[in-house]
Structure 1
Amino acid sequence: MSITGLVSVVIPAYNVGPHIAEAIDSVLAQDYPQVEIIVVDDGSKDDTAEVVAARYPQATLIRKENGGAATARNAGIRAARGEFVAFLDADDIWLPGKLTAQIDYFRAHPDVAMNCTGFSQWVSDERGVFPDPSTVIPDQTAIPVDAIDQEFSGWIYHKLLLRNFVWTTTVVMRRSLIDKIGLYDEHFRLGQDYEYFLRASRETEIHRLSRAYALYRQHPGSATARGRDYNYAADVIGRARAKWGLASPNGEAISKQEIRERLHKIHFMCGYLFLKRGKAAKALDEFRSAVREKPLHLKSWAYVAVSALADLRARFGKTQTIKI
């Protein structure tokens, strides 16, 4: 049984010792009165857990072996007692008024089970120093607190297939929605949030508040900045297309051409990145997938040839020379 009005804030954390305090402080600075903080240390090798334990006795600290963000968020959800569950990445921060605005919106719209907000980029200078948060927040005085982005609100499943405009750090969900859709899919090391929100968008309208209520910290150590060896976005979209098709529950839909364009672009860009990193075999798989989505795209065929040749050269280079 969840506690009425309580917001459980789930913070998965991995090697974020330099940033975790700012994230937690931004939650404690909220003016919403009913909050529990759950930090899940996902096997950090730095002092992340120690910082939390020493400085934030009011937070629930869960320590676990490294398993990825999905496993960490699931551990936090299992421990959550709130009527609402909010997510915050440990290297980002919330801005003042975020929770009050989102919970007030829920109370005014009882049929909406998930909402999110706008956000601003938070980029360091050449020395790695991040500017004062107040200097990167846009002027929002003209935007009503309860205003929503109409383009990104409503039954948005079909729109999410073309663009993931829901950012995890801004999301608050009713616990009742989580009980319907279940936990994060731990198959995904990256992209698990995208898959989760697509699942949610089959059960409820999702509304995005227009104001920016969080800062997204961009730095080399973030999960999205680290190199990856698998095309998660294409997998997520492909699974959704196969299971639910291209239409939202209210009947609004995108075309087959639009989804093919989307998947072609993802495969092509992923293939290009693999090729640039010297992973010719993986690049070849991606360019072949790009061709399947858009057979008449000559540039994709050209890169199939380039990556195939690079793959052959790589294999030949590893083969011992046989003297005849």
Structure 2
Amino acid sequence: MTEQTAHPQPRPGLSDHPDVVVSVGTDHHAFDRLVRWIDDYARRRRDLRFLVQHGHSRAPRDVPGTPFLSGTELGDQMRAARVVVTHGGPGTIVQARAAGHLPVVVARDPELDEHVDDHQLLFVQRLEEAGRVRSCSTPQQLAALIDKALDNPEDFRVSGADEPEQAALRAGALIDLLVDPEPGPAPAGVPAAPQGPADWPEVTVVVPTRDRPELLRRTLRAVAEQDYPGRITTLVVYDNGRPDPSLAREGGDRPVRVLSNTLTPGLAGARNTGVAAAGTDLVAFCDDDDIWLPGKLRAQVRVMLEEPDTEVVCCGITVVYDRTECVRVLERTSVSFGDLLGSRLTELHPSTFLIRRRALVGGCGPVSEEIPGSYAEDYELLLRLARRRPVRNVPEAGVRVLWHRHSHFAGRWQTTSTALRWLLDRYPEFALVPRGHARVSGQIAFAEAASGRRGAALRWIAATLRRRPAEPRAHLALLVVCGIPPGWILRALHLRGRGV
């Protein structure tokens, strides 16, 4: 916790060791509720000494307070105190436990404008269940817990350097990922806009393909016709099929190479085969049934040039289904890990990905070949990339995405269900985002219903509704259980540019 000097209250001397130390952290949201509760309690306990670090909340009226303390000062005060009360911030909880206290914790509530979302409520609930804190949600509970800690101090003491602190630190880092970072200063030394072809970096496009020769040729034409001054090399990776050497094209600034998937059969292995063969810093993905619009690559590479730390850039799409078109554009230019847990964000389609190769080879790792059937491998890759730094987005449609009945995963409901269950197991962070968890479990419910597994579907429907009663996928799954053909529902959704 860093020292702040803006309008500080007179702080007590560090030798005036308080009986009760209260810390609300440094979040810019006020937490007046906890300060008020402490004031009320202190008026009944004139025999105790208090210190309240109140941050951006109002100063306490009846006890000493200070807006901010350095980490060293706060730690010293916590170690000397008899009881420590904190907000639900991971860092403050860890500091209290490191000082030897089982802290009494009041989580900030977003419904009261005390935080941006409910992650403190969820985090504190988990720590309470694990016995790492004692939580309360009313002034009566707070008073009772402080009294209990004063009367039975051994019940509120912990070892200051045990394994639970490391677990809390890991959980704290996880929580931080769920919150949009504060915008930082613009990077220094932004490169000048490229002038000629030599200033634009070469890009390798990886196009996995299987049994769609006509669509593939259309895709390759769209890549070759990009309004991009630099060189574009396309790698066509055949997955479980004989390569067509006639597609290869040498020379010029739009060469095409033809490869066979040498890794795990499936979309993930085919993408990784292409990435391994790429010799450029920038690698783009495009499915063999999608079409890039002419300005797509230029707009994305410009972002990469202006922001050297950016690892992935996406853009919007136009969904084409049964002669209808629907534009799906995400208006924001930055997407966080928390955003992706809350929503798949269909606009961030794999055919829009432009990625720095080093992020895959030496960073978060390649496309996962463990996902059953390679289903949602693109989404899982985005989650890993977003853990490192935000995903950048160009808020305009750059790709025409064809949805059709012959899509690779059409009707493969058991593969879909198995892969999504794998995703929930691999990313426990979903449990901290009820909306996101309900979205995935609702998809599992629909897949189980569509595959005729009525009992499993009903169990997943119930689990989904417990987390989020308004989750539409659970209700769609229930319609399928009741006899509505899943194809009818999918068609109605696809005509609107939507999917389950």
Give the TM-score of the pair, scaled to structure 2: 0.48
Residue identity opposite 2:341 in structure 1? L
Map 1:33-48; keep pairs closer than 5 Å. 33-44=230-241
Matching of residue 9 in structure 1 with residue 194 in structure 2: no
TM superposition shift of 1:96: 0.3
Q: Tell me the SS of whatever aligns to 1:31.
A: coil
Number of the residue aligned with 1:214:
399
Which whole-Å CA distance do the structure 2 matches of 1:211 and 1:17 have between them?
29
Which whole-Å CA distance do the structure 2 matches of 1:87 and 1:24 have between them?
12
Map 1:139-178; keep pairs closer than 5 Å. 151=332, 153-154=333-334, 156-165=336-345, 166-178=348-360
TM superposition shift of 1:37: 0.6
Residue identity opposite 1:12 in structure 2? P
Number of the residue aligned with 1:270:
444
Q: Is the 8 A contact 2:351 2:399 kept in 1?
A: yes
Which whole-Å CA distance do the structure 2 matches of 1:182 and 1:35 have between them?
24
Number of the residue aligned with 2:367:
184
Which whole-Å CA distance do the structure 1 matches of 2:339 and 2:421 have between them?
15
Q: Is the 8 A contact 2:215 2:289 kept in 1?
A: yes
Residue identity opposite 1:84 in structure 2? L
Q: Is the 8 A contact 1:114 1:204 kept in 2?
A: no
Number of the residue aligned with 1:315:
none
In structure 2, the CA distance between the partners of 1:273 and 1:55, relative to structure 1 (3 Å rule), is closer
Bigger drift between 174-183 and 195-204 goes to: 174-183
Q: Tell me the SS of whatever aligns to 1:117.
A: strand
TM superposition shift of 1:221: 1.3
Number of the residue aligned with 2:221:
25
Matching of residue 228 in structure 1 with residue 402 in structure 2: no
Match of 2:303 among 99, 105, 110: 105
Percent of residue pairs identical: 24
Q: Is the 8 A contact 2:312 2:353 kept in 1?
A: yes
Number of the residue aligned with 2:265:
67
TM superposition shift of 1:111: 2.2
Q: Is the 8 A contact 1:234 1:263 kept in 2?
A: no
Which whole-Å CA distance do the structure 2 matches of 1:295 and 1:105 have between them?
40
TM superposition shift of 1:171: 0.8
Q: Is the 8 A contact 1:155 1:204 kept in 2?
A: no
Bigger drift between 67-76 and 56-65 goes to: 56-65
Match of 2:318 among 109, 120, 123: 120
Matching of residue 78 in structure 1 with residue 276 in structure 2: yes
Number of the residue aligned with 2:293:
95
TM superposition shift of 1:263: 2.2
Number of the residue aligned with 1:57:
249
In structure 2, the CA distance between the partners of 1:162 and 1:29, relative to structure 1 (3 Å rule), is same
In structure 2, the CA distance between the partners of 1:17 and 1:150, relative to structure 1 (3 Å rule), is closer
Residue identity opposite 1:39 in structure 2? V
Q: Deviations over 1:152-206 (max 9, x none)?
A: x335100001112221000101122222111111111201111111000011221
Number of the residue aligned with 1:312:
none
Number of the residue aligned with 2:453:
279
Q: Is the 8 A contact 1:43 1:64 kept in 2?
A: yes
Map 1:121-140; keep pairs closer than 5 Å. 121-125=319-323
Residue identity opposite 2:214 in structure 1? P
Give the TM-score of the pair, scaled to structure 1: 0.71
Number of the residue aligned with 1:193:
378
Work out which of the two has the higher radius of gyration on C-alpha atoms and give 1 or 2: 2
Q: Tell me the SS of whatever aligns to 1:37.
A: strand
TM superposition shift of 1:69: 0.5
Q: Is the 8 A contact 2:413 2:451 kept in 1?
A: no
In structure 2, the CA distance between the partners of 1:200 and 1:40, relative to structure 1 (3 Å rule), is same
Which whole-Å CA distance do the structure 1 matches of 2:282 and 2:383 have between them?
19
Residue identity opposite 2:249 in structure 1? P
TM superposition shift of 1:31: 2.6
**Structure 1, gaps ≥5 residues long:** 126-130, 139-147, 247-254, 308-324
Q: Tell me the SS of whatever aligns to 1:207.
A: strand
Q: Is the 8 A contact 1:87 1:169 kept in 2?
A: yes
Which whole-Å CA distance do the structure 2 matches of 1:137 and 1:287 have between them?
29
